[in-house]
Amino acid sequence: MDLIINIVLGGLLIGGIYSLISMGLSLQYGVAKVLNIAHGEFLMVGAFITYWLQQNGVDPLLTIVVGGPLLFLVGFILYRTVFTSIRLKAPNTGVYESNSLLAAFGLYFIVQNIAVLIWGTTPQRFSYLASSVTILGEDFNENRLVATAFAVAIGAAFYLFLERTRIGKAIRAAAQDPLTAGLMGVDINFVLALCFGFGAAMAGLAGVLISICYPITTTMGLGYTVIAIVVVTLGGLGSIPGSFIGGFILGIIGTGVTYWEPGLAVASYYVIFIILLLVRPKGIMGK
Partner 1 sequence: MDFSKINWKKAAITAGIPLVILIFLGLWPTIGPQYWVTLFSYFLLYIIISVSWTIFSGATGYISLASAAFYGIGIYAAALFREQFAANLPLIVVVLIGGLASFVLAFIVGAITLRLKGIYFAMFTFGLVLLLKEVIYYWEIQFNDLRGRFVAPESNDTIYYYLLGIFVITMIVAYLIRRSKYGLALQIIGENEEAAAHTGINVTMVKVLTYAVSAIFIGAAGVIMATKLTYVDPGVAFSPMMSFSPVLMAIFGGMGSIYGPVIGAVIFTYIEEILKTGSMKNYYMLIFGVILIGVILYLPNGIVGSIQNLWKRISGARRAHTRG
Which residues of this protein are in contact with partner 1, per CB under 8 A?
35, 82, 85-86, 89, 94-95, 97-99, 101-103, 105-110, 112-114, 117, 226, 229, 261, 263-264, 266-267, 270-271, 273-274, 277-278, 281
Q: How far is the CB of 111 from partner 1 (least distance, A)?
A: 8
Complex with partner 1: residue 185 or 263, whichever CB lies closer: 263
Complex with partner 1: residue 153 or 277, whichever CB lies closer: 277
Q: How far is the CB of 223 from partner 1 (least distance, A)?
A: 10
Complex with partner 1: residue 154 or 229, whichever CB lies closer: 229
Q: How far is the CB of 264 from partner 1 (least distance, A)?
A: 6
Within 10 angstroms of residue 285's Cβ, the number of other Cβ atoms is: 18
Complex with partner 1: residue 82 or 152, whichever CB lies closer: 82
Complex with partner 1: residue 55 or 81, whichever CB lies closer: 81
Q: How far is the CB of 155 from partner 1 (least distance, A)?
A: 24
Q: How far is the CB of 105 from partner 1 (least distance, A)?
A: 6
Backbone angles phi, psi at 36, to 5 degrees: -80, 95
Beta bridge partners of 135: 138
Q: Do the beta carbons of residue 36 and residue 199 sit within 8 Å?
A: yes
Question: Please, what is the angle between helix 39-55 and helix 2-25, to 10°?
Answer: 110
Q: Do the beta carbons of residue 151 and residue 17 sit within 8 Å?
A: yes
Greatest CA separation found in the chain?
59
Complex with partner 1: residue 109 or 161, whichever CB lies closer: 109
Q: How far is the CB of 134 from partner 1 (least distance, A)?
A: 34
Strands 132-135 and 138-141: antiparallel
Q: Do the beta carbons of residue 43 and residue 203 sit within 8 Å?
A: yes
| 3-state secondary structure at position 133 | strand
Instruction: Give CA 62 to chain center in angstroms.
Output: 20
| HEC sequence for 83-95 | HHHHHHHCCCHHH
Q: How far is the CB of 148 from partner 1 (least distance, A)?
A: 27
Distance CA 195, CA 141 (A): 33
Beta bridge partners of 216: 124
Complex with partner 1: residue 100 or 141, whichever CB lies closer: 100
Distance CA 125, CA 212 (A): 8
Complex with partner 1: residue 76 or 158, whichever CB lies closer: 76
Q: How far is the CB of 85 from partner 1 (least distance, A)?
A: 6
Distance CA 20, CA 7 (A): 20
Give ∠ CA 107-110-113 in degrees, rounded to 5.
140
